[in-house]
Structure formats: structure tokens, C-alpha cells
Structure 1
């Protein structure tokens, strides 16, 4: 075991490369007091190596579009997914603990958490100023907590190593275990609250630091954790679910009270290539038009015969589609529907209808044509968290506590109206607003919020979590003919190889 962990440490340090002015790389594969983290540049480079785990080493992206990414794990088994490629094992709830699309995120980010933990300890001993130490340690704690939350949502408590002593000085009898749910939640919550309360990180980063986690990122992860547990406790009839929703409502309010983030006036402008780094985005992965660093979501969408009317050379893999039944569920006046294209130019004519390349649905084009592209990878930043989610989660929490009209201004309804207003002309006179205003009870408003979240966040990697929190993930699957769906499918299995190697308990049902 000790040898194994030393091997892990060497591997993680191999990725920490600092390029000098003469472009000769300094490799941190030989750990000595003389060459490991000797200055601020070394620390910054090492931290950049941890951020690189969001992307991985291929152009498919662990948080983006590859089958097995966080986005596809959250979207594929839901009612919002369609594609010209059939992921039958995933869409039909037939996944196993040996399927690579189930295993990849676990196998990437559990070691990434170890990497972050080790680096936190190394920075504490580095000969740099306290300001530098505090900043980068705070960032690493938030990144680690973010990954731990996402893994928790997908797999339940995972065997994350958060004690640096167990990495840097492992003993022969050290074993890895899965913590209890309470232990895991408490650790993530404590990490985030300590960073938030210390106010070390800025509300948002700009310039060359854009893409780093911020104070608001930490608050966003904590908000998600509280909402997750509020839904879990309510659905499973355990614990005080209202306590979690009260905590969530307060965190969402705190983010709003920062008075930095705001909704974009036009829905489509959130992802516009001309409107990058806008103030609706809380956390995003910056992109560049090169493999690994690029955003290839659009390539996953476009038909192979798609031609840009702006003359932009674009690659199309004829994949992702917004199901027609989802497209048809939008109010025709809802501008959110406009980012799902029902026709396209093939160089000779407009392709329309619901057959051929459009048989399974419309083209989800939140990510738009970007002239800054190599054809496949473009420079559109990949959005992870945005401000509309804060407002809608606060509405959801307030509804659970007070109902749709209680709890003082802003009420849950008023919060939802804030988000919906930008998507309709003359919103106050619309049937959409009238329908919301007519809802009077908690259950009905909860159900409507889930529908609004579908219209707002489709293709953003939230649907599975939303449906589980609302207690309808499995029932919805069965209603769509996915008769193999069982309650245990609310979690993915721990990879079988991990079960064999670490002798830990598998999730129920697998």
C-alpha cells in the first residue's frame, strides 16, 4: 500500500510542469526540498495542473460532451436527451459497474482529489508569502469540494483521500474506505464554509485568472449540497429536510446580495461568442480553438451536411438532439425555444421537417457558431454554473419553506418571474405568467419549477439531479417505457475494478 501511494504521488507530480523563459520544462517528478514549489510561479503552475483535471488529456472533456462526462451522466438517462447515436445501455437503465461511461468520472476525479490534497500540504510548506498560500489553498479546497460534491451526487460517498498524511506518509496498514453519508457531507460543507467565511477569494475573477474558482463558486457548490440533501431528506423521510432548504435559501440570498451577478437581457447571449465572461456566469471552463482546450459541443450537434451561412468551417458529427416532445412543450413565445433549431442550411437548401437528420429532435445550439474555431474545437467558454440557477434554486427552497407566495419579498413566485421575464416579450401580459400566478400550493409549484428548469437548463447537465431531488427520476423513466429503471439507479455503481482493489462496499443493486 505504501509503495502504491508513493507511485500515485510521483504520477501527480509529473503533471506539474513549469516552463521557463527558454521553454525548457522544469519537471517536478523528483521531489526534493531544493526543487519542489520553490517560488510563486511553481505554486501557480502546480495549481494549474489541478485545474487541468476538469478537462483531462483528451479533447472530449470530463465536464463537457464525451459519453461518460459529467454532462452526459446527468442528461442521457432523462427525458431531455435524444441523439442520432444510440446509448442504449445508458438511456434504458442497463448500465453496469464495468461500463466505461459509468467508470470514467470516478476513475478521473477520485485520484484528482488525492492530487489536490497532496498539493495543499505541499503549498503549506512552500517558501512563499502567506497571501499566496492562502489564495491557492483556498482555491484547491473549493475545487476539491466541487469534485467531491459531483461524485457524491453521481455515486454517493466515495473513498476520497482528504488527509495529506495518508498520501505523503502512508503506512503499511492503511486502507481506503467509503465514509458515511454524514461524514462525507460534513467534510464538504465544512471545507466550503471555512473558505467562504474567510473571504480570501474574490467574488469573481477577471483577466488571466478568469476560470479559477471564486467566492461565488464556493457558495454555489454549498447551495447545491444543501438542495441535494433537502430533497434527499424529504423524499426518504429522514432528517429535517426544511433545515437544509433554509440553509440553501440563505446561501442563495447571500449570492444575490453580492450584487455582482445578473441575468443577461437575452437568453441566447449567455453563450454568445461576442459576450464571453458575462456576469451571469459564475464558473466556466475557458476554451481555445485547439484540441483538449476547445469546446466541441457544437460539433456533437451539427449534422454532417450543415453549412454555416457565415462561411465558418464547421465540423458536424450529427449527434445531440432536443427531443421533439420537449421542443413542443415550450410556449411558442418563449425565447428559450429559439436556441433549439428546427432547420439548417446544407449548402443547397434549407433542411426542415422531422425526418432524416432531424428525426429525433431539434438542434440544441446554446453554443453558437464561433468564428474562432479550428472546425471542431471553438473558443466558447463552457458554462458550469450561472446566476439563473441561483435564483431558481432560491425559489425552490422558499417554496418548500413558505409555499409559493409566503416568506416575504421576494416570494418563490417573484423569484421565478425574474428568470422567466427575459424570455418573453410583454411578460406581465403572457399566459405563462398567468399560469404561474394561479399556482397556490407547494406541490404544484414544485412540479412547475421542475418543468421551468427543464426549459431553462436543458443541455447543461442538471436534469438527472433535478429529477432525483424532486423524487421523479425513476417514475418518469418508467412512464417513458424504461421498465428496467429501479430505485437503486438513482446512483451509478462504483467501478468494479475499484471494488476488487479496495475491497469497499458497492452501491445497493449492483
Structure 2
């Protein structure tokens, strides 16, 4: 799939083409140099290139990396800010105990201070990015349905998964959003959060048998296990999103994933005592980590240049006395650090806690000062041998892929759903947690017993295993910790010691400019 990304430049026209209103407008192009929708969907091979655009919609920001020909209107937000995983980091990590960001760009302080409005650049960018991805998927599905090649049915199932993943994020972040499954020019109406949940569920259930079998698809493309894994995540949050618990279903689909061909990476390729760090190196598509990645964004340092993705994570975490070349890049952006609440979740033997403390204070007195708060060393643009990725000397290039769903999360989903009343087995849950902790500690010294397995332990274990992987806000909302005084962290609510904030901030606002152009939509309460 990485090699397909270089075919993206001609796909945008096909992705946004609307059906003409009159037959006399439905003309084939006369200019032989014009590459049109007719060419893109001429056969299954060309359709596969269009499918690559759908995957790339989550990885890059336009037709010309890293910037210059954006998919979103650059008047609305800087192109570099609008990349999907970078924006998701702002919304799901920067708003929590996992991160602060010292940059003063408009809208950034709003995130960790928890005082964003409906005009915030990043909440707006995410809403528009996901909406655009859905439009791309709808266009692909409509056009690909005209092809008879059997493999195209798999492509369509993948497009439906990507559309469901976009809707999953809208469901989580914004709640009540329109469901649109066709290319249309009319303004959509708003659906309830429960209706969006049901749509995502029905799509994933319907396509699970149409996707490639477990482990049989090429790296970077999803298979049936991705549908099961997203269902596991969906059902874990069902009680919050619909009012109806679905923990048995979470356990069931987590079991399907755990019994699939995917395995926890245990290959300590750089011989540092743990196989955890291999998940976040430049060769994580080949070093063994790939066997754990159920859905990942691919970055190869040449075809996927962006100011977001792992470029943002690698560069943004480097500052102070840190040496950029140790991370396979030529400079640091002196941005993100972590709060003491995250650091204190690790003991000295847990090698997942990859922090840099030289010249850094544990506590944060001034967010704007990079020296306030420990830095993170989790993401690197070097391989297991310490060799930099192909982007050496280039700010905009990293080879490190970014997992959006990996098997370790499903272990944690199973354990939590079991403790919340699902029909799982506590012994199995303990065993799975210990697999993760054995990897983290390089041995069994950190293993637990079933008596240690509590909901709060699992939440802390999710933090230790998944920090900076863009799930923390969702977890804290599920535990009723995100806005309440039940759990405070430094600078929650824009106060040094943390305070509770209004509960309506469990959801982000529908963008004000979207409401201005579509009278069918209502704003989320509180905004």
C-alpha cells in the first residue's frame, strides 16, 4: 500500500465528482491529457489506486506533500495542522493527563485548558477532515459498484470500513452527526448519537465476511480482524454512547481478534530488554511489530510527507538537551511533554515509560517552557539497528508507521469488559494483561494476579500501554473521569493542580461555520 500512495495526485477529481443533473452534461472528456473518473474506475487495478486515496485521507493532507495542494480549504486551517492523527492527538491526548503542548498557536492552549469553543481550529478541522473522508468513501463505493471484478467487492468492503472508522470518530468526538452514504448536493439532516452507533455497528457486521481473511491482505490494508477490533472498541463504549451496555458483545469480538492470526510483538530486535519500543521505530512495518498492527497509518518518508503523523510525534517531542539525531531527524520542535500524573503511573522497571528527564522538571509551572514536564522518547525515526529512516536531514519525513488499532488494546478491552459484567474469564484477562507486562518488564517481575485486576488498574494499564496513541480522552470519558473531580491532573481546567470542568465538554462542539451553512443541524448542549 505504501507504493500505491504515489498514484494519488490524479484521484481527487474522482473523489469529489458529483452526478450531473442533465444528460447533456454527462460527457466524456475530449482532451486526452485529462485523467477523469472514467479512467480511475476503468478496471480493478485503477480502482485500487483510488482505494489508496481513502487510506491516504487519514495519513496525508492533500495532493502534494507536505503542503501546497490541500484537501481542506487552507483559509480555514493551516494544512499542517489538519492531518487526521495530529488533530486526533490534540483532541484525545492534549486534553488529558497525557500531554501538554507549549506552542501558542491559536486554539492549542484551549485543548489542555479545556476551554475550547465552537470556533476552535482543531475541533473544526477534525469535523471537516472526517466529513471529507466520508465523501471520498461514498464516491468510491458508488463508482466501484459498476465494476464486475470480484476483487472490487473487497475494495468496497475496505472503503466501508474506512467510512465506518470515520463515523466512529465522529460518534465519539461530536455525538449527533449526519449520516450520509451517497454523493449528494443537498444539506444533510442530523442523526442521533444512537443512530450513528447503530450505523457503524451494522456496517462492520455486514462487511466482516467481505473483507480479506485474517492476515491475508497486504500490509497497510485492513482485513476482517479490523472490523472485529473496531466492534470491540465500539461495544466497550456503548453504555456511554447509547445508554445500553454491550460488554458481552465486546468480549465476544475481542475473543475473535485474540484468536486471529495477529500476535503481540515479542521480538526485541535492538536487544534493549523489551520488545515494546519496536512498535514505534522506523522499521515497524518489518521488525515484528507489524504482526500486532490491525490498522495503521503508513509513512514511508518519501511518498507520505506531512507536518502531521509521526513527523509531528517525532519532532514535536524533541527539545531541550535532547539530541535530534538520536531520533533519526535533524531538528526538534520543542513541543509536547507529559504531566506528572502520567509519569507516576510507571515504576522504574516498566520499560514502556519512555521519558527524558535531563534538564526537565517533573512538574509543570509554565506550559510554554519546554523544560517544564518530562519529554517523551516513544517515537523514533530509526530502525532496530539505529539507522535513520530515509528522511534523514528532512524535517518532513519519517518512516515510522502509526498504529491506530493494535492487538494490545484488544487485550485491555477484553479485560475491562469482563470486569464491567461481560461474560469473559478473569483468568484469561489476567493472562493477557501479563503478556503485555512481561513484554514491558522484559520478564515476569511485573506480573499480577487476578486479585490485582480492578477497573482502575486497567485504566492505568491502558495509560501505560497506549499513551500518545490517541485514545486517552475516550477512556477517561468512559470512566467518568474526563470532566469530573473524580480524577484531577496538572492543568486540567487550566489550573495548575487541576479542577473539574462542565460535563458538556465530554463532547466537542459542532463547528460554528458548519451550523451557519446547514440549518438542519443543532449545536451540542453547552456550546
Interval containing the TM-score (normalised by the shorter chain): 0.7 to 0.9
For residues 424 and 40 of structure 2, the distance between their equivalents in structure 1, rounded to whole angstroms, comes to 54
1:95-494 equivalences in 2 (<5 Å): 95-126=116-147, 128-129=148-149, 131-162=150-181, 164=182, 167=183, 174-196=186-208, 198-204=209-215, 209-232=218-241, 238-239=243-244, 241=245, 244-265=246-267, 266-277=275-286, 278-290=290-302, 292-293=304-305, 295-296=310-311, 297-303=313-319, 306-308=322-324, 312-337=328-353, 339-343=354-358, 359-370=371-382, 371-372=388-389, 373-374=391-392, 375-376=394-395, 377-401=397-421, 407-408=424-425, 410-427=427-444, 430=445, 432-434=446-448, 437-439=450-452, 445-476=454-485, 479-480=488-489, 482=493, 483=499, 485-494=501-510
Cα distance in 2 for residues equivalent to 1:408 and 1:470: 21
1:92 aligned onto 2:121: no
How many residues get paired?
449
In the superposition, the TM-score normalised over structure 2's length comes to 0.78
Shift of 1:117: 1.2
User: Among 483, 492, 496, which residue is 2:512 paired with?
Assistant: 496
Does structure 2 retain, via aligned residues, the 8 Å contact 1:324–1:360? no
Normalised to the residue count of structure 1, the TM-score between the two structures is 0.80
Per-residue CA deviations over 1:70-98 (Å, capped at 9, x if unaligned) read: 12210111111123325321112211111
- Misfit runs of 4+, over 4 Å: 8-11, 308-313, 351-358
Distance 2:155 2:487 in 1: 46
Name the CA distance, whole Å, in 1 between partners of 2:42 and 2:325: 52
Q: CA deviation at 1:46?
A: 1.8
The C-alpha deviation readout for 1:19-51, integer Å capped at 9, x for no partner, is: xxxxx97522xx5xx546111232112222222
Q: 79, 89, 102: which one pairs with 1:71?
A: 89
Contact 1:84 1:360 in 2 (8 A): no
Relative to its length, the structure with more helix (as a share) is: 1
- Unpaired runs of 5+ residues, structure 1, are 1-7, 15-23, 344-350
Is 1:94–1:484's contact at 8 Å kept on the other side of the alignment? Answer: no
* Distance change (3 Å), C-alpha of 1:484 and 1:308: closer
Alignment-derived partner of residue 18 in structure 1: none
Deviations, residues 258-279 of structure 1 (Å, cap 9, x unaligned): 1333243511111123442421
Q: 1:210 to 1:420 in 2, by over 3 A?
A: same
- Gapped runs of 5+ residues in structure 2? 1-11, 19-31, 67-79, 268-274, 383-387, 494-498
Q: 2:484 is paired with a residue of what secondary structure?
A: helix
2: distance between equivalents of 1:245 and 1:352? 42
